[in-house]
Amino acid sequence: MNHALPNTNNIIDFEPRASLVSPRRSARGSSSAGALTSVMTDGSCPADMSPGRDEARMPPQGAAEAPRVDGDDLDDTIAEASSWLHKNQNGDGHWVFELEADATIPSEYILLNHFLDQVNDPLERRIAVYLRRGQGPHGGWPLFHDGDFDMSASVKAYFALKLVGDHPDEPHMKRAREAILARGGAARSNVFTRYTLAMFGQVPWRACPVARVEAMLLPRWFPFHLDKVSYWARTVMVPLFVLYSRRARAENPRGVDIRELFVTPPEKERRYHRNPTGHWIGRTFLWVDAVARMLEPLFPTAVERKATEKALNFVRERLNGVDGLGAIFPAMANALMVFHILGYAKTHPQVQIARKAVDGLVIEKGDHAYVQPCLSPVWDTGLASLAMAEVDAQAHGLDDRGAAVRESAMSNACAWLRDRQVLDTVGDYAAWRPNVRPGGWAFQYNNDHYPDVDDTAVIGMLLDRARLPANKEAIDRAAEWILGLQSENGGWGAFDADNEYYILNNIPFADHGALLDPPTVDVSARCIGFLAQLGYDRDHLAVARGLAYLKRNQEPDGSWFGRWGTNYIYGTWSALAAFNAVDEDLQAPHIRAAVAWLHRRQQADGGWGEGCESYWTDKRDFVKASTPTQTAWAVLALMAAGEVDSPEVKRGIAYLMKAPRDGGMWDEKLYNAVGFPRVFYLKYHGYPAFFPLWALARYRNLTRGNSQRVSWGL
C-alpha cells in the first residue's frame, strides 16, 4: 500500500470527559444499527494479524527493565516546556515556526532572482552559506538531512552557487560536479528541473514534456483536466503552461551556464524522457507527447491567446495577496516569471504583491539564510494549542497561575483561528463538491481557495475542546465542510474529494509521482477523530465508511502508512487515535497488531525513529536514530490503544525526559515530515516542541486521572 487573565465567560474547561459525546451536543446522525456491519464487511482485519497478549507485551530485544517515571521531574519538564511554548506565542494568539525543505527551494529562489534580473547579492551570499553546509559526503545534495544524493537537488544547488559566484574549480563545486557526472549528468534531472534548465537555455525545450497553455481549454471529459489534479499541481502548472508555451527565457544577467554538468552535450542528448511508472500506459503517453511536440507549430495563435488569458485569470483570482498563489513557493515563483515574460512592469501592483509573497518565505539566521516552501501558522497554532490543552487537563492545583495564563493563551489562539476560517470563498474543491458550503481552514495565513481538510479537523477538535461558546458556529461549519469532502471510498484527501485519477501518474509531466491528492489514512483518521469528538456515533454512515477505509488500508505488519508525516509511526498514531475516539475494542485484532508493531519498532534507547528513506520499498524499516517527535507519536499511539502502563510507554516517556532540549524545544536534526514521498521532504521546526510536551502531559493525565482512556479525538 502506498501509499491577561480570562474573564469568567472565557474560562476554558480542559478536563477530560467521561464520554466522547459532547455534553452540549447530542450524538448526531446515527443511522441504523446495521450500518457499520454492512459497510465494514470487506474491511475487517484478518485474524492472523492479531498477536497474543504476551507477544504484544514483549519488550524490544535487549531492552532494560522499564524505568520508574519520577512524578516531580515529569511536572517540572512539562512546566518548563509549556512555559517556553507560551513565550513563543505571538501577541495576536498564533504560533508559527520555521518550515524547512531541502536545497531546491533556496536554490530556486536564487535562480528566480537571476531569471528576473533582480539579483540580491548580500542575501544570495547568505543563502549560499546554507547551501554549502547542506552538501553531503557523497558530493551532492540530499532531499533531507543526512540523506542520499539527489540529482535534481544537486543540479539546482550547483547552478545556484555558480550564479552567486562560486568558481567551478573550488573543492566543493568540483566534488558536486563529479558526483553529478558519475550518476549520468544533469540530463537525468527530473521534469521540473529540466523546465528550469530550458528557461535558462541549458537544455533544449524538447527536453521538457509538452505543457501547452491550451490545456486550459480542455473539457472535463478529456483524460487530462485541471480539476483532476491536486491543488498544488494546479497552481504550479497553470503559470508553467504559459512559461512553456511562450518559451520563456531567463534574463541571466551574468550569463552563467552549467554545460560542465552534462555527460553528453545537452543539444545532442536524446534520452531526456522516461516512462514515470514503467507501465505500458506510460509508454503510450510518451508517444502522445512526441506527437504533440511535432504538432506544436500548427497550434492556432488565437487559441493560445484565449488559453493564456484564461490562465492569467486563474492566477489573478488566486493571487492571494502577500500570501501568494497557492501560498506555496513554486506556484508563486512561476507567477512572477509569467508576469515578467508578459512585460508587466516591476511597479505593477500584481508584480509587487507577488514579489512580496516570495520574499516573505525567506528566513535569515546568523550568517546564513534559506527559503521556506510555505508558511504553517494555522497548523502550528492548532498543534501547539492542543499540546497546551493537554497540559492543563491535570494542571489545576499544581500550577494554578500557569494554568490561568495558558487558558488565556488558548482563548487568544481560538480567537485568532476563528478569524481565519474560510466562510465565504468557494474553493476549487467545489468542482467536484459544488453544494458544499465553505467552512475549512487553510494551512497558511491565507489561502482561501485551498482550505486544508487536515487543518480543519485539527482546529475543529481544538475549538471543541476549548469549550468557548464563541466557537460553536465555527465548529458546526467545519463539521459540515468535512462531511462534504469525504470521498466515495470512505477516506478523505487533503484538499479535494475523489482525486484519484491515477492514470495521470503515467504522463511524462508526473515523474514526481505527486500529481494527485487521494484519500490518506492520516487525514481520514483526523476527520474521524473530529467527528467522534463532536458526538457522531460510529454507526453514523460517514464515520462507519471512514473506519472501514482505515481497516482496509492497514499494512500486513499492523502499521499504517503516513502520507504527511514520517512515516508508519505517524500513520499508526493517526489511525489508533481515530479508533480510540470511536470507542473501538482495544483488544480487537487490528488494534493489537498495531500495538505489536509499535513494540517491535522501539529502539534500545527507549525511543522510536524512522528515516525518510522508509518511503522507498527496499528501505521500509530504515531507522537512523530515535527522535523526540517520532517517540512522542509512538507513545501517543500506544496510550490511545490502552497501553499507558506498558513498559514500552514508560521507556518512551523516559527517553523524552532525558532527551536534550532547550527549554521547550527538543533537539532534532532529522526531518519529520513529507511533502511528496521520495521527492520532497520537510522539517517542521515546531514538531519537537509540540509533540513531546503533548505526550508527556497526556501520560501525566492518564496515570493520575480517573480513567486511562484518552477522551479526545486526537
Stated as kind and residue range, the H or E segment containing 369 is: strand 368-371
Question: Which residues partner with 358 through β-bridges?
Answer: none
Q: How far is CA 617 from CA 2, 3, 49, 567, in A?
A: 10, 10, 21, 12
Name the grid cell of 87: 513565550
Nearest residue to 441 (alpha-carbon basis) of 423, 468, 462: 423
Phi, psi of 370 (to 5 degrees): -145, 175
User: Is residue 583 annotated as part of the catalytic site, yes or no?
Assistant: no
Q: Round the CA-based radius of gyration of the chain to a whole number and report it.
A: 26
SS3 492: strand
Three-state secondary structure string covering 15-73: CCCCCCCCCCCCCCCCCCCCHHHHHCHHHCCCHHHCCCHHHHCCCCCCCCCCCCCCHHH
Nearest CA-CA partner of 307 in 218, 428, 208, 210: 218
HEC string of 652-694 equals: HHHHHHHCCEECCEECCCCCCEEEECCCEEEEECCHHHHHHHH
Per-residue cell: 122: 548580500
Strand order across the 673-676 sheet: 99-100, 680-684, 673-676
SS3 66: coil
- What letter does residue 646 receive in the DSSP assignment? S
Return d(Cα 287, Cα 467) in angstroms, integer.
59
Which cell is 540 given?
Answer: 453514523
Cell representation of residue 251: 534574463
Rounded to 5 degrees, what are φ and ψ at 180?
-65, -45
Distance CA 589, CA 593 (A): 6
CB atoms within 10 A of CB 510: 21
Burial of 201 per CB tally in 10 Å (0-12, 13-18, 19+): middle
**Is the distance from CB of 547 to CB of 579 less than 8 angstroms?**
yes
For the chain, the distance separating the N- and C-terminal CA atoms, rounded to the nearest angstrom, is 24
Q: Which of 454, 464, 498, 511 is catalytic?
A: 454
- For the annotated catalytic residues, the residue numbers are 454
